[in-house]
Chains A and B, each alone.
Chain A
Amino acid sequence: MEETVENLIIGLNDGVISPAASLAMEAHNSPSKLFLVKKIRHLSVVVLAFRGSMLPNDWFGQRGHSPFGETKIDTGKFPSVRSLNDGGDAVVNGSFLWRFNDVLDKLSHAKELKKAIEKKRQVVFAGYSSGGPIAILATLYFLENQTFSPRCLTFGSPLVGDRIFSHALRREGWSDYFTHFVMKYDIIPRIMLSPSSTEHEQILNYFKSKLDRKNINPAPPSGFYLTVMGNASSVASYEACHLMGCRNPSLDIIKSFIELSPYRPSGTYVFCTGNGNLVVVKNPNAVLQILIHCAELGESDAAEVEKRSLDEHSAYPNELKDSLGGMKAVVYLDVDPANDLGLSPQAMLCLQAAEEFENRRSRNLENIRTDRNYKEKIEDQLEKQRKYKENAQISRLGYYDSFKLQKEDADFHANVSRLELAEIWDEIKEMLKEFELPDDFEKKPEFIKLGTIYRRLVEPLDIANFYRHSKDKETGAYVISRGARPKRYRFIQCWLEHHEKKLFGSRSESLFWADVEQLGIDIEKKGYLQEIKDRIHQLERNLIACIGDRSLDDDVLLENSTFVKWWRALPLEYKSQSDRIDNLIREKAAGV
């Protein structure tokens, strides 16, 4: 299958890449400007190209801090670039982030950009070399803000973010907005896979002196290739072990003794093969393997390859002019990339493993959707829980209290059903932690919805079970202590909050009963303090809000429920919404 490269980049007009590459190169050579702007009138496209820097400090920050200069991403600016389970925030290169922040203010106020947005022109952020990371972060920033959807084109860009970064981009469906062109041997796109070292400085200084034109032909450094590519190869092998399902337990021990680069590719990669063909690869695991394996040495050409690895960094405008002038791109997974990139059999195995890993994730999703033991079973069990809850209302007690008493057969069956559900969701949780499901799983409305129904309906039962067995005495309060609340609920809550673009922790309506229980216990222990009073007021506000938006079922207001009894026994001076809540209780009793 062959099509133009532009076609493969969603919403990019034909004929943009080559001028963008030239502008990116020009920006790199314009030390006085942070970025250059160029309108491609007949295409209604505006390209902004960012200047790079070859100062080692602009790549690795203060040396000695960390050999890879990584830092947590600023989730204020990039709220989506994080894991929705235990993975935490994405990690990016600190120097690149810092330089992006430096540009951001100027960029946001750039007239050309405002005009382009107004006129609904296609905006392309471009960057060559270390201008690439700025273009990537700028594109991401505007995607987060939803003001408009820019495209990103980089040429010989170093890596910017880690695995979570790449995962978050794929989850948000932004991966296709980023296209990175990489020459077969260019050292710069691989350099971040190696810790900062004298070799790095040699390479950067070489490019810097070329840039400064103090010396038209500076002497190229030598001997760096083995070091940089050796370290990069460690990263590729480590990832390959995972893709191949390595079960040797030594892997983890060995990993704990070596410091591997955190950076991983993200977005779409276009490899320039040198023979005019372009190979487009979208799978980040495959990209990483190709990055390393296509730049491997032949039998006796070490010195030559080393020289090429420097020369090719400057070859993008020419290469792309040649490649795109009528040349077509070859898409990986339809056609073997091995021939075009000259990959070894071992490399081919790695690519097949990457492909199989991706297939397995799709299979797992398909399984959850269609296998009777997953989605269908969840729905069945939720139906049982719904009925249990309905029936429990009849006794004016509510299913929370009924479950806590565990008197009737129905309570027992609800308990078994709770465990059945926990089993399935725990399994899904583990799969997500191991990246065994597609990146956008946590973003799929069907699962956010199903998860939220589950959380609101069943978490109260887990809370009831927790306080029924006084587990707070062992682990501490359900809400506060880390070990107490099952992680499955935390994750699912996170999906919803992320989906609604709400603050993390703001959708904790399913924790209402835990707050009630804990308040009861704390009052008994400490008596009525100001702190308790504040918490009661908060609880009242939450109750009114959650009943209002129906995220909490009103059976908490049943006459005989733990909550109503407890609340009625509270001294009046500790309540702030006494009348409103009394009204709610009365309405419920009247069946309004």
Chain B
Amino acid sequence: MKRRRMNQVPLFSSAGELANLVVTSNLTDISWAMILEFRRGQSALPCSVQPMVYDPTPNEPNRTIVVFAPSPDSTQYALSQGGDLVPCPEFDFLCTKGCPSVSINRAALTLFTPLYGHLSALKNKLNKREGQLIITGHSLGGSIASLFTLYLLSSMDKESKCRPICITFGSPLIGNFGLQHSHWNSFFVHVVSNKDPLPTLFLPSGRSAPTSSHSQATAYKPFGTYLLCSELGCACFDDPDLILKILTVASSEVAGGVLQVVDYGEILRNLKNRAICKGTQPVGERFAYPFSDGIVMELKTIGIDPAKHNIDITRMEAEARALAKKTNASDAKELNDIKKYMVMLEWYKKKSKEANKCYYDCFKNGDFQRDVRIEEFVGQLTTYWEDMVAQAERKPQKEGASFRTGWLQSATTFRRMVEPLDIAIFYRDGGRDYINNGRSPLYKLLQKLYDEAAKNPPDSKKKNVSVLLTDDSCFWAHVEESILSCQSLNHANSTPEQRESSWKNLVKFGEYVTKQIENFAVSPEIFLEQSTFMKWWRMYEASIDAFRNFYTSPLVNFMKSHKYDDYGLPEEA
């Protein structure tokens, strides 16, 4: 009973209210006014494509406006080049896992490419500015405004005090990349009238330019927030599939086949009036289903009939419901949970050490499992980090990278703590060659990220090694492989070749361990009497005696002379 009531918590769609906020604020007005102002001054230069920068004024000391409004001639020329998608490596910083190479429509590139040098200089100049930066443009001008904004975002660092927003009017879709999982998505507002054929010009159901092939055109992905408007009102959406659908519907309903010029100034004036108008609608009554009723109202306002056009409102509501669950409070809870699990593991490690064992071996043998539900915590932690990695992968490369640096250190601690446990299970269950057969993609990726980030080798000062985790999270896999090598060396049926190769492996392993010890990169726990490492050493020592008498190496000396007793102890001791 209670559960049912919980499920019925009403949801709302704020698409209409967000759109009202945008049109009643002066943001769109200013942008449009500046486009008009630029056009007026531009008439002398028929072929200009370059943007105009309006610097801060005494009245608006914190605001820079960049207007992209190519002349009608240049726009016509560019449009005649067609809207097929052209690979564009300059924008590969937008690549995500789902979109391995970026393509951009030919018309926009026709205008953008010649400006590249100029825009690069402009980008560097604007990057250093503080305060608001409005980047705006109409039709194809809006497309280059968007491209320029992306270009600017890619070069901005966290310290930058420049706050950009890109506002376009009636611009065609640009490319095949989405920004759904990127923070960058929030910097774009695209105003599109349902009377304007241009935004959907390159979509298959629109009146496609003859050069564009359909298979390519469907690859277009909208990004940012679309402020979709009709004479009756407006609504803001940011779901790319829905936007694409609405645009497609609108394009098929635009009267005639002629490219008519849409006056966005007039549209904005009308929307502003409507925002404070209740109109002739009947008096409102309580809505039984505020979300679906609201969204139907919003869609109808912009000329879309959800039933007729097959828009799945139930799905939208389900998505909204899932999103509503994630709050700052739930994030705080998750983060604390992760901390807690790591503390549990640390304790397990400590408890093992008190029993004179390595936590690797304890886990392998199933000691103390009842005290701490280690496997459960390992599972939770792994899920958490897989999710973080996936989130980073959905973001554009550049942004994903800075997202990752935020948590790479915690992820590394996680890897060093938890991977040995996975290795333990792998070899306990009779696995061989963990690194090639058993290692999960998560660890491989985290390792790769760590190696890339650690340009400077970690300071190998003698720290308080006793509490440290072993740097190389695959250390135990190497130990286990060496045990297998020892076994192969000792095995009666081994061929001389096998013996030779095993011996080589063992020598290599010895060198590896020596290096780890020199760098204080292994935890002293490995030298505990019952550890798998010591087990290996005893086997190895016996093999040396049996096969290569008098063989010596730094590791053999280290081990034979019991130098490990002092390993990791403070210098004074």
Interface 9-mer from A40-48, A395-403, A414-422, A550-558: A414-422
Can you name the residue of chain A whose Cβ is closest to the Cβ of B21?
A: A237
Could you tell me the distance in whole angstroms from the C-beta of A144 to the nearest C-beta in chain B? 32
Q: With a CB–CB cut-off of 8 A, which chain A residues contact B351?
A: 409
- B11: chain A residues at CB < 8 Å are 245
Interface residues of A in 322-355 (CB under 8 A from B): 336, 338-339, 342-350, 352-353
Asked if B283 and A338 sit within 8 Å, CB to CB, the answer is: yes
List B275-300 residues whose CB lies under 8 Å from chain A: 275-287, 290, 293-294, 297
> B448-474: contact bitstring with A at CB < 8 Å (1 yes, 0 no)?
000000000000000000000000000
Q: Which residue of B lies closest to A406 (CB)?
A: B350
Residues in B302-333 with C-beta less than 8 Å from chain A: 320, 323-324, 327-333
Query: In the complex, are the beta carbons of A248 and B286 less than 8 A apart?
Result: no
Least CB distance, B208 to chain A, in whole angstroms: 29
Task: Tell me how far the C-beta of B278 lies from the nearest C-beta in chain A, rounded to whole angstroms.
Answer: 4
B165 within 8 A of A: yes
Q: How far is the CA of A348 from the CA of B12 in the complex (A)?
A: 12
Given contacts A299-B280, A419-B336, contact A249 B24 (CB under 8 A): no
Tell whether, in the assembled complex, residue A430 and residue B327 are in contact, meaning their CB atoms are under 8 Å apart: yes
Q: Please determine whether A344 and B279 come into contact, CB atoms closer than 8 angstroms.
A: yes
A353 vs B290: C-alpha distance in the bound complex, in angstroms? 9
CB <8 Å contact, B278 and A430: no
Q: List the A residue with the shortest CB-CB distance to B24.
A: A234
Closest-by-CB residue of B relative to A412 is: B347
The distance in angstroms between the C-alpha atoms of A249 and B277, with both chains bound, is: 27
Inter-chain contacts of B320 with A (CB < 8 A)? 245, 247
When the two chains form their complex, are residues B14 and A258 in contact, meaning their CB atoms are under 8 A apart? no
B156 at the interface (CB under 8 A from A): no
B185-193, B391-399, B512-520, B541-549 - interface stretch: B185-193
Q: Would you call A254 an interface residue if the criterion is a C-beta within 8 Å of the partner chain's C-beta atoms?
A: yes
B433 at the interface (CB under 8 A from A): no
**Chain B residue contacts of A349, Cβ below 8 A:** 12, 284, 287, 290, 293-294, 297
Partner of A342, one of B18, B277, B278: B278
Given contacts A254-B27, A431-B329, contact A241 B17 (CB under 8 A): yes
The answer to whether A249 and B20 have CB atoms under 8 Å apart is: no
The reply to whether A296 and B276 contact each other, CB–CB distance below 8 Å, is yes
Cα A252 to Cα B282 in complex, Å, equals: 33
Pick from B134, B332, B333: contact of A257, CB below 8 A: B134
List the A side residues contacting B332 at CB < 8 Å.
423, 426-427, 429-430
Does chain A have a CB within 8 A of B340?
A: yes
* B17 and A257 contacting across the interface, CB-CB below 8 Å: no
Q: Is A76 an interface residue (CB 8 A)?
A: no
**One of A297, A409, A416 near B276 (C-beta < 8 A):** A297
With A245-B324, A423-B333 as contacts: A250 and B225 at CB distance below 8 Å:
yes
- Contact (A256, B163) CB under 8 Å given A240-B17, A246-B18, A416-B340: yes
Across the interface, name the chain A residue whose C-beta is closest to B342.
Answer: A419
Is residue B209 within 8 Å, beta carbon to beta carbon, of the partner chain? Answer: no
Q: Are A250 and B17 in contact (CB under 8 A)?
A: no
CA distance A490 to B323 in the complex (A): 30
CB-based contact B329/A347 at 8 Å = no
User: Of B22, B185, B275, B330, which is in contact with the most chain A CB atoms at under 10 Å from its CB?
Assistant: B275
User: What are the residues of chain A within 8 A of B337 when measuring CB–CB?
Assistant: 423
Does B45 reach chain A (CB closer than 8 Å)? Answer: no
Task: Point out the residue from B20, B183, B287, B328 that lies within 8 Å of A233, measured CB to CB.
Answer: B20
In the bound complex, CA of A345 to CA of B289 (Å): 13
B329 touches A430 (CB 8 A): yes
Residues of B within 8 A of A587 (CB): none
A18 at the interface (CB under 8 A from B): no
> Using Cβ atoms and an 8 Å threshold, which residues of chain A touch B336?
419, 422-423, 426
> In the complex, which residues of chain A have a beta carbon less than 8 angstroms from the beta carbon of B185?
249-250
B386 in the interface, Cβ–Cβ < 8 Å? no
Complex CA–CA separation, A250 to B191 (angstroms): 14
- The distance from the CB of A286 to the nearest CB of chain B, in whole angstroms, is 13
- CA of A249 to CA of B165 in the docked complex: distance in angstroms? 12
Q: Which residues of A contact B26 (CB under 8 A)?
A: 258
Contact of A249 with B186 in the complex, beta carbons under 8 Å:
yes
Is the CB–CB distance between A345 and B333 below 8 Å?
no
Distance in angstroms from A487 CB to nearest chain B CB is 11
A38 within 8 A of B: no
**Interface readout for A208-251 with B: 1 if CB under 8 Å, 0 if not?**
00000000000000000110011101100110110111111111
Which residues of B183-219 have CB atoms within 8 Å of chain A's CB atoms?
A: 183, 185-189
**Cβ-neighbour of B277 out of A296, A416, A436 (below 8 A):** A296
Which chain A residues numbered 24 to 56 have a C-beta less than 8 Å away from chain B? none
Contact B343 A419 (CB under 8 A): yes
Whether B10 and A246, one on each chain, are in contact in the complex, defined by CB atoms closer than 8 angstroms, is no
Contact call B344/A416, Cβ cutoff below 8 A: yes
Does B16 count as interface, using CB distance less than 8 angstroms? Answer: yes
Instruction: Report the bound CA distance from A431 to B331 in whole Å.
Output: 11
Instruction: Tell me whether A345 and B329 are in contact in the complex, defined as CB-CB below 8 angstroms, given that A226-B272, A241-B21 are known contacts.
Output: no
Please, which residues of chain B bring their CB within 8 A of the CB of A390? none
Q: How far is the CB of B520 from chain A (nearest CB, A)?
A: 19
Residue among A339, A345, A430 with the highest chain B CB neighbour number at 10 A: A345
Q: How far is the CA of A248 from the CA of B18 in the complex (A)?
A: 9
For this complex, 13 residue pairs linking A to B, each with C-beta atoms less than 8 Å apart, are A233-B275, A234-B24, A237-B24, A297-B273, A336-B285, A352-B286, A356-B290, A419-B339, A423-B332, A426-B333, A429-B332, A430-B331, A430-B332
B positions within 8 Å CB-CB of A: 9-14, 16-18, 20-22, 24-27, 132, 134, 163, 165, 183, 185-189, 224-225, 236, 238, 272-273, 275-287, 290, 293-294, 297, 320, 323-324, 327-333, 336-337, 339-340, 343-344, 347, 350-351
Besides A345-B282, A345-B287, 11 more A-B contacts (Cβ < 8 Å) are A230-B24, A241-B21, A243-B12, A244-B17, A298-B278, A412-B343, A426-B329, A427-B332, A429-B332, A431-B329, A434-B327
